Chain A
Amino acid sequence: MTFRLRTVSTTADGRRIVRDKDVAQDVLTVGRAAESDIHLPDLAVEPNHARIALQSGNRVSVEATGTLGFALDGRSGRSASIDPRTGGELRFGSTSILVGEDGGAVLLTVEPVADKVDGDLEADGMTLASVLPGKRKLAWILAGLILALFLALPIASNLLRSPDVKQSNVVGDGSWTPGPLSLAHHQLEAKCEACHVKPFESVRNETCMSCHKAAHDHAPEARLAMARAEPGVGGKILGGVAHMFGKEGPGACVDCHREHEGLAAMPPPAQQFCADCHGSLKDRLPSTKLGNAADFGTAHPEFSPAVMVDPVAGLSRRIPLDANPRENSGLAFPHKLHLDPRGGVAKMAATLAGGKGYGTSGLACADCHRPTEDGVRFKPIVMERDCEACHSLVYDKAGPVFRKLRHGDLDQAIADVSIAGNTAEPVVTGRARPGDYGANQLYFARFTRPVGGGLVAGMLGKDGVCGECHVTTLKAGRVAIVPVRLPARYIAHGWFDHSAHKQTKCAECHAAGGSASAADVLLPKVAECRTCHVGEQAASMFTAKGKVPSSCAMCHTYHPSPAPPPLARRERRQGVGG
């Protein structure tokens, strides 16, 4: 085996000149020295750089003879062994020597390699920057899109909208909503500008009041301002931010009625909302008649029902239950007498049981106290329905007809009673009178008990048909009945739903069975309510079983209204306790 040296050179006009030379040597030297077999006039090549030798097994060995190495197929080294049939490319400086086979000889093609011109480009190709748009470009595109869609578009659309809310149509501000509106405001979902009227101006009270015309103030503004507690650190921060950015308040609608909190009914205010002011109200507002209240379970004043003190004038006064209030409703009604299961009343009721619907074991509460349709309270007591079955007003009988006094009309009753008996058949009728006086004339006589003033007096007397229950008085010089004023509601500013307490017997709260006088106020004290109802905080801390967490909103409303308070409304909706 021999070497065949093929030298390739390129002329100035790009023509390739190829010269072949067979060398009958086993070893070839490579270097810059002129006597080298392969002479490479390149300063990057050493004078005696390497030697290429034929090896046994038809291989070619390459050894570096100087201090510098060479590259084989791009990899640097100092020695290599090449199979000419497979081939390989040696690299010395800027010259490549291709090792191959040509007709039984080892072909060494010596060719200068052009300097890398695309090296940098290729190096860049390794990085991701070569296939992705630049980071800066990407960043600007994304930021521009976001600013255009989520800032410029809604603002421009908002500024150019029609001043009429019904006509206006702001585009793109849907992306601004921090959360769905509550059920009550759900229809305003796509109409941000209905509430957010002016840019950078918080939602105004007047905007709320343009629909909620009937919302009443909690108390006069000046008193509210005095009553308001100094906020804590957090409240001060919030107030500071609110003030800095021109929010109304404190006490603005939006301070309490937080929107965008989800598609549900607005939650009832937490106890703390009331307790902030009412917990220490007396300290700041000494003139208030209200006791401090912070938690139903631990800090709530005794109930002060409006007790009727003067039924003639219709005057009631709020007296705390612990001050043992006495009521004067104008009616003498001892509950004990009526509810005693072994008393006369019970017997009477048992006698009447079938027809009037009374039970056989005497009177029950429900026989007289009939719930209203909503079950919250009770219908007024009606004499004809609730009393008359026993307390009959019949005073006479004419044939099959019973004559009855007219309840509620004393003058008529007196008139009726005055002639009672006179209508009966006279005992002696049309008989000629004997003797001198009025001889030959007919006379009529009635030999019954004398009637008139005596009967009326009896009727109105303490045991009479009226006086048994009623008190008489004089009105404009005439005898009159003191009007009966049974309050439908003792606690006007506190909500109590009887229907939510159905599982409890009446007597557990109302001690009627032992009340011998109508002057007793048969209301439970706050302590009795607390056997079941605990404050909001206590409930969340201990979650006592069977206890009902009761925040202020269960019984009270902030805006005076005849409607049930928020928590009671919610519980009614959810059927809690119903």
Chain B
Amino acid sequence: MTSAPAPGGAHTGRKISADREGFLRHRRFRWLKLAALLCVVAVVAYALVDIQPRPNGGSWLGYTLGTIGAGLIAWLSLLGVRKRAMTRGAWSLKAWTSAHVYLGLSLIVVATLHTGFQFGWNVHTLAYGLMMLVIASGVWGIVVYAALPAALSANREELTREQMIEGIRAVDRQLHAAAQPLGREPAELVQAALDEDLFAGSLITRLSGAWRSCATARAIDRFALADANDEAAGKVEKLLIRRKAQLDRLRRQMRLKALLEVWLFVHVPATIALLAALTAHIVSVFYYW
């Protein structure tokens, strides 16, 4: 894939290949190295500085780590604003994202040392817990973005989302036609399957992939018991099985998509909650100073 030359500047081959680098390997892991350095410095300082009576956030090292941590959190949360403006170069969005990932991970070390391993049922540990939740969800996001798109694409077998839905609708129309000779009870089963909302699954259903009370599956079960000589019923059953196959693919697609998307539903709200808890943490410390 060659990108068009940017206005006002020719592209060298090197630059184009650099552009292919993912945000994780950006500039030969520049931000990974910087974040690792930050962690090492923090750990060494923590090991060497003897805080009495025991390490805590109120010591000078605690203040330093806390200030670095709070600054990092504030900056990291700005990615949501920054990502809406894509730019190139040293401060490209990719560089920013790379820094976001690695500096975000370094917070595990910086903030944990800031706590001095003192935890409790309080707003301070709440802020810490939310921060760890945000980081964990971010890690989950990176993992699924590396692993799932291939599975997603394999599952859809070059069908577009619309084609997948249209395929089910096509079977539905055939089902509707084929079910005309059926009696009231089997017709109701077919109608229930047709009436089923393709996208009715809740978050849990989507994540687990366990779609219970599927009207199509129920109808198939019932039609399997029907008289083998009933031609219309046999045809409807075949159509139902086809519908079920297509429905399963759609649901697998929805499951993968849910796994792919769910991290952001944790990451973003937890980040805002973290900013609130961080505010409460800092204000409360100085309020009861």
Contacts and interface: CB of A to CB of B under 8 A. Distances in A.
Given A100-B174, A128-B258, A234-B49, A87 B273 contact: no
24 contacts: A73-B242, A76-B163, A86-B235, A86-B239, A87-B239, A98-B177, A109-B177, A123-B162, A127-B257, A128-B265, A131-B206, A146-B123, A146-B277, A150-B280, A150-B284, A151-B276, A176-B122, A176-B287, A176-B288, A178-B118, A178-B285, A196-B289, A246-B289, A270-B53
Interface in B231-289: 235, 238-239, 242, 246, 253-254, 257-258, 261-262, 264-265, 268-273, 275-277, 279-280, 283-289
Contact of A89 (B173, B262, B264, B273): B173
A150 B123 contact: yes
A71 interface: yes
A96 interface: yes
Given A74-B166, A234-B60, A138 B269 contact: yes
Interface in A177-205: 177-180, 192, 196, 199-203
Interface in B151-177: 159, 161-171, 173-174, 177
Interface in A202-222: 202-203
B54 interface: yes
Given A73-B167, A178-B118, 20 more contacts: A71-B163, A74-B165, A86-B235, A123-B162, A125-B197, A125-B198, A126-B161, A126-B199, A131-B199, A139-B273, A142-B273, A146-B126, A146-B273, A155-B283, A173-B288, A176-B123, A180-B120, A234-B59, A234-B61, A270-B50
Contacts of B201: 131
Given A123-B161, A142-B272, A143-B273, A87 B279 contact: no
A405 to B, nearest CB: 60
Given A132-B265, A150-B277, A175-B123, A122 B199 contact: yes
A88 B163 CA distance: 15
A122 B162 CA distance: 8
Interface of A: 71, 73-76, 85-89, 91, 96, 98, 100, 109, 116, 119, 122-123, 125-132, 135-136, 138-144, 146-147, 150-151, 154-155, 158, 173-180, 192, 196, 199-203, 234-235, 237-238, 241, 245-247, 258, 261, 266-267, 269-270, 272-273
- Say what secondary structure dominates the interface of chain B: helix
B63 interface: yes
B287 A199 contact: yes
Contact of B124 (A122, A131, A178, A202): A178
Interface string B93-115: 00000000000000000000000
B235 A87 contact: yes
Contacts of A202: 289
